Amino acid sequence: MSHVTCIELIAFLDSYVDDELDAETRHSFDLHLLVCPSCRAYLATYRETIELVRGTAEQEEELAHDSPAELIEAMKRVKR
Amino acid sequence: MAAFRAIGEFNSESRVSTWLHRIAVNCALMKLRIRARREKDVDALLPAFEADGNQQQSSVGWTETAEEILQREQARALVRRCIDQLPEPYRIVLVLRDIEQLPADIVAEKLKITRDNLKVKLHRARQALRTLLDPHMRGAI
Ligand SMILES: [Zn+2]
C-alpha cells in the first residue's frame, strides 16, 4: 500500500483512528493526509463526531442525576 | 379472537389457516423489506468517490471543537436528533460501542453478528452521523 487514495483512507479510517494499522500502512496514510486537505478535514470531523456522541451521552447522565452546576464541573475535572 | 371465531363460522377451518398463514408470510416479508431498506438508507449518507479514488465532494472542517459544541444544550439536542435519524441497526451499534463503550466481542455476540461485521457497521454509523451533522457544524449552531 504505497499509494493511498481518499477511498482507501476513508474505508480504513476507523482502524487508523484506533491505531490498528501496521506501521507501513499507517505511514502511507500519513503521507496521503499530508497532501490531501479534504481527508484531513474528514479525519478531524470523524474524530469530532465520536467525541460528540460520547459527550452527549455523558451530559445526559449528569443531567439525569439533577446535579448542581458546580458538581457537574467538579465531575468533569475528575474525568479529565 | 372473537373476530377469528366469527370468520371460522363462515369459512372452513383450512381456509382460515391459509388466510392466517398468508398474513404471517406477508408480515415476515414486510419486515425483511423494511430492514433491507433501512440498511440501504445509510448508503446515501456515506461519502462518494470519483473513479480515481478522490472524494467526490471536498470535506471541510467544522468551526468549533466538540468540547465547545457540547457546552450548549441546543447543540447537544441537535446531536441527539441526528443520532435518532440513523437507521436502527446502525444506531444500536453506535449506542452500544461509542456511548455504552461495551467491548466489541460482547456487542457482536449480543447482536449475533461477526466482529468484522460489527466493525464495518460502527464505521458506517459514524460516517453517516458525520454526514448528518456536517451541514450544521460548518456554521455555528
Ligand atoms: Zn484524500
Residue B85: all three cell numbers together: 435519524
Residue among B134, B132, B38, B43 at smallest CA distance from B83: B132
Q: What is the pLDDT of residue A3?
A: 83
DSSP B41-75: HGGGGS--B-TTS-BSS-----SS-HHHHTT-HHH
Per-residue pLDDT tens digits for B62-78: 999 999 999 999 999 99
CB contact under 8 A, B126 and A10: no
- B93, part of any domain: yes
Domain of residue B132, residue span: 67-140
Residues near B85 by beta carbon (within 8 Å), at least 6 away in sequence: B132
Mark whether B136 and B71 lie in a shared domain: yes
Within 10 angstroms of residue B118's Cβ, the number of other Cβ atoms is: 20
Q: What is the pLDDT of residue B106?
A: 96
Mark whether B14 and B71 lie in a shared domain: no
Q: What is the mean pLDDT of chain A?
A: 83
Mark whether B71 and B129 lie in a shared domain: yes
Q: Are B128 and B39 in contact (CB under 8 A)?
A: no
Residue among B88, B85, B96, B66 at smallest CA distance from A59: B66
Mark whether B78 and B136 lie in a shared domain: yes
How many angstroms is it from B85 CA to the middle of ligand 1?
A: 27
Mark whether B11 and B71 lie in a shared domain: no
Per-residue pLDDT tens digits for A34-57: 999 999 999 999 999 999 999 987
- B82, part of any domain: yes
Report the residue of chain A nearest B48, measured CA to CA: A7
Residues of chain B in Cβ contact (below 8 Å) with chain A: 47, 49, 52-55, 58-62, 65-67, 69-70, 76, 79-80, 83, 94, 98-99, 101, 119, 122-123, 126-127, 129-130, 133-134, 137
Q: Are A56 and B84 in contact (CB under 8 A)?
A: no
Most A CBs within 10 A among B50, B58, B59, B117, hence the mutation to make, goes to B59
Mark whether B128 and B77 lie in a shared domain: yes
Does residue B34 carry a pLDDT above 70? no
Q: What is the pLDDT of residue A31?
A: 97
Does residue B80 carry a pLDDT above 70? yes
Residue listed under C-alpha cell 471541510:
B60
Q: What percent of chain B has pLDDT over 90?
A: 68
Mark whether B84 and B135 lie in a shared domain: yes
- B59, part of any domain: no
CB contact under 8 A, A50 and B60: no
- B26, part of any domain: yes
Total tally of structural domains belonging to chain B:
2
Q: What is the pLDDT of residue B1?
A: 47
CB pairs under 8 A between A and B: 89
Residue listed under C-alpha cell 425483511:
B32
β-partners of residue B49 are B55
| Reported confidence tier of residue B139, pLDDT bands at 50, 70, 90 | confident
CATH number at residue B82: 1.10.10.10
- B49, part of any domain: no
Mark whether B34 and B78 lie in a shared domain: no
Does residue A30 carry a pLDDT above 70? yes
Give CA–CA dist B14/B4, Å, rounded. Answer: 13
Q: What is the pLDDT of residue A73?
A: 60
Residue B40: all three cell numbers together: 440501504
Cβ-based contacts of A79 with chain B (< 8 Å): none
- B108, part of any domain: yes
Mark whether B32 and B90 lie in a shared domain: no
> Which one has a higher pLDDT value, B21 or A63?
B21
Cβ-based contacts of B127 with chain A (< 8 Å): 10, 46
- B111, part of any domain: yes
